[in-house]
Amino acid sequence: MSRRSRVVLKIAVWAICLAPLVALLYRAATHDLGANPISFVTNWLGDWTLRLLLASLAMTPLRILLGLSWPIQLRRLLGLFAFSYASLHFGVWLVLDHFFDWREMGADIAKRPFVTVGMTALLLMMPLAATSTAAAIRKLGGRNWQRLHRLAYAIGVCGVLHYLWLAKKANPAPYYYATVLALLLAIRVWDWGRRRVSRLRTEGIAPMATAGVRSLSRQARRQEEGRS
Ligand code: HEM
């Protein structure tokens, strides 16, 4: 992909990720936040957190299935936007729902399991956001960074559980998100299995091939010696 196309793609992703926030601000300015504005804003930001989180998790499976490299360049941007929406979502709960009442907040986290897993997802997102820079990758080392960033799937599971737990039974939306997450995870597991099998094959074949070459050259040497 050319540099120009990459820039265009990134601008498009920025626009798509900022559009829900602009739309929310517009609705707030035009007093169009429904009968319970706090709940509306919390749910709006929560929905977009989950969508962007799943979009960032979809980038590696896209590369695996289509063999394209550009989705990987968008993974970090989408992940950081998901974290920004999660922080705003949490901020609304902190400021508008509980007015900085720490005791009440602690009780809410302990009492309502959906808040506990939501909080867990946000806490797990923090080290990933903090290590998203090129300098952090260099400092951690590629392998450690990769290991740490596998947490993204645990965050996805917590995000989906959070929604499954809080939604009414008749609401099908959390099941759609759960299905998408399960598919993305299945693609990763399938790819991991495929790579492991091919590594085991090459590891098994390589020593056999080396032994074969050695025995052939030994035979050739013996034949040479027999002729002379
Ligand atoms: C990665 C982190 C998170 C994700 C993906 C997420 C996602 C969501 C989603 C999808 C909804 C429901 C939206 C709807 O019904 O349309 C929601 C609602 C909610 N979330 Fe989160 N959330 C996260 C973190 C948190 C945290 C840290 C808190 C607070 C500690 C929190 C508190 C709430 C509350 C109270 C609601 C219900 C709002 C209402 O019904 O009025 N969430 N969240």
3-class SS at 121? helix
Confirm whether 21 is domain-assigned.
yes
pLDDT attached to residue 214: 72
What is the Cα–Cα distance from 25 to 2, expressed in whole angstroms? Answer: 35
Please identify every stretch of the chain with a pLDDT value under 70, giving residue numbers as ranges. 206-213, 224, 226-228
What is the Cα–Cα distance from 207 to 200, expressed in whole angstroms? Answer: 11
pLDDT attached to residue 105: 96
Residue 57 CB less than 6 A away from ligand 1: no
CB atoms within 10 A of CB 49: 27
Locate 93 and state its tokens: 């709960």
118 CA distance to ligand 1 middle (Å): 6
55 CA distance to ligand 1 middle (Å): 17
Q: What b-and-e string marks burial along 125-160, b requiring 16 or more CB atoms within 10 Å of the CB? A: beebbebbeeeebeeeeeeebeeebeebeebbbbbb
Confirm whether 187 is domain-assigned.
no
Confirm whether 87 is domain-assigned.
yes
Residue 56 CB less than 6 A away from ligand 1: no
Confirm whether 33 is domain-assigned.
yes
Confirm whether 163 is domain-assigned.
yes
pLDDT attached to residue 207: 65
Mean pLDDT of the chain: 92
Confirm whether 189 is domain-assigned.
no
Going by alpha carbons, the residue nearest to atom 20 of ligand 1 is 46
Write down how long the chain is. 228
Domain extent at residue 36 = 3-176
Locate 32 and state its tokens: 């169009």
Q: What is the pTM of this model?
A: 0.88
Going by alpha carbons, the residue nearest to atom 24 of ligand 1 is 118
pLDDT attached to residue 226: 67
Confirm whether 124 is domain-assigned.
yes
Predicted confidence (pLDDT) per residue in 47-90, tens digit: 999 999 999 999 999 999 999 888 888 999 999 999 999 999 99
Sequence-distant contacts of 145-152: CB under 8 A, at least 24 apart: 151/124, 151/127, 152/53, 152/56, 152/57, 152/79, 152/128
**What domain count does the chain have?**
1
Confirm whether 184 is domain-assigned.
no
222 CA distance to ligand 1 middle (Å): 76
3-class SS at 91? helix
Locate 26 and state its tokens: 């517009």
